[in-house]
Structure 1
Amino acid sequence: MAKQYPDIDAVQHEFILKQKIFFTATATAESRVNVSPRPTDHFRILGPNRVIYLDLTGSGNETAAHTRIDGRMTIMFCSFEGPPKILRLYGRGRIIRRDSAEYATLLADQFGNSDPLGARQMASLDIDLVQTSCGFGVPLFDYAGERPTLTRWAEAKEKDIGLDAYRRQKNQFSIDGLPTGLFEEPAE
């Protein structure tokens, strides 16, 4: 049976900290729905109604395009080890650009002023609903570790054409042609 809460409580906070992966879902009224897996080592709980994560460069930038136009975002955690459980965070998402003062402040306060190679932006979620459910259908998996592939890819890309050039080529528009705002001039 699903239960709903207005914010992240202590039990849910502890559950989130134990997870190794989460999924971000976004869409606009006219776009495809995007669901992306993310590592929890770049996830931070800023308060009972706000979370952020460092978003690494990938082949697309759907989250940025969707939150820019629509704002709806859901983050889901599910336990692949231990007791079954699914936890969803619903709310309004937005992107925090690397060239912003807010990014610099959060990077210093939450990430020891160190962003990994490939970090392109932060995603922020202002939570208006937390929901837990049974998770009985989630299979059990043993955690074997993080893949080094994305880090190696970012290192090679930086040496080749550079991550900025790659982002300009692949991350300015969603697969539906929606602008991500990644390289727009900052608002005054």
Structure 2
Amino acid sequence: MGVFYESIPPSLESWILEQKVLWVATAPLTASGHVNLSPKGGPYFGIVNPTTFWYLDLTGSGSETLSHLHEPGNGRITVLFNAFEGPPRIVRLWGWGEVLEYGTQKYLDFVKQTSADTIPGTRAVIVVHIHQVGSSCGFSMPLFDFKDFRSTLNEFFEKRVAAEEAGNKKDGIERYWAYKNAFSIDGLPGMQRGLETGQKENVKPLKKMVGPRAPKANMLHYPSSVHSRPALSMVLFLLAMVLSFGAGIFTTVFAPLYTARLLESVPK
């Protein structure tokens, strides 16, 4: 039987912190966009208080979560844990996700305040502001014995960060972010730092999908996808103003003349 709470109860807090794997689900606002589900492994998460959960967003080949949380009016996120040993259990955290990107003041302040143990390749801290917690049975989940965390990802990005610090931009992490993390598979803007590097250093972003559902090439170009939108909105606004002004002149000057002629043509 499922049980719901408005915050993380003490009975679940220690269990959550003991887990080795979590899943993160997000989606774009458009109905044609793709729902994303990302597995996360490692001791890179924590609980600030009963309504605030966080985890490190480590660099990878995709940036779906960042893109969906950055999307205006979005921010929806669900975090799921399930027991692989001991009594069966599934726990979900529903909330609004806040992206604290690497290098920003919010990121630095959060890491300092929480003593979060960041590692090379960390591109953001995702803070989940929880509004609902659900616990269910998980009777169908299999049992597994934990062996160890993989070190492959950490080692790969340690090399990227070291290359960046040594001045080797070609093999550094900034260009990796621009190439693979600037946009989602649907063409939504992703990691802001990747977008900035892509624009500044003219890095062509990776096209991640194939077939008719793949975003158009021009939607994966930083200036046209990000900076031209306010300009386009202004053009549409000015066009609407001109049309409104023209309609006002027509109504004031020509409408009375047209009405008078129409009345004259009516048989008496």
Taking structure 2 as the reference length, what is the TM-score of the superposition?
A: 0.65
**1:181 CA displacement:** 4.3
Q: Which residue of 2 aligns with 1:29?
A: 29
1:160-175, aligned counterparts within 5 Å? Answer: 161-175=171-185
Higher relative contact order (CA 8 A, sep 6+): 1
Q: Which residue of 2 aligns with 1:39?
A: 41
Q: Which residue of 2 aligns with 1:126?
A: 129
What's the secondary structure of 1:41's corresponding residue? coil
Q: Is the 8 A contact 1:84 1:136 kept in 2?
A: yes
Q: Give the alignment's Cα RMSD to 1 decimal.
A: 1.5
Q: Choose 1 or 2 for highest CA Rg.
A: 2
Q: Is the 8 A contact 2:63 2:191 kept in 1?
A: no
Q: Does 1:50 align with 2:52?
A: yes
Identity between Structure 1 and Structure 2 (%)? 39
What letter is aligned with 1:78?
A: N
1:75-86, aligned counterparts within 5 Å? Answer: 75-86=79-90
Unaligned runs of 5+ in 2: 164-169, 197-268
* C-alpha distance after superposition, 1:61-106 (max 9, x if no partner): 1001011121100000000010000000001112111222221122
Q: How many residues align?
A: 184
Taking structure 1 as the reference length, what is the TM-score of the superposition?
A: 0.92
Q: Is the helix fraction higher in 1 or 2? A: 2
Greater Cα shift, 37-46 or 120-129: 37-46
Q: Which residue of 2 aligns with 1:61?
A: 63
What letter is aligned with 2:130?
A: I
1:9-24, aligned counterparts within 5 Å? Answer: 9-24=9-24
Distance 2:23 2:181 in 1: 19
Q: Is the strand fraction higher in 1 or 2? A: 1
Q: Which residue of 1 aligns with 2:138?
A: 135
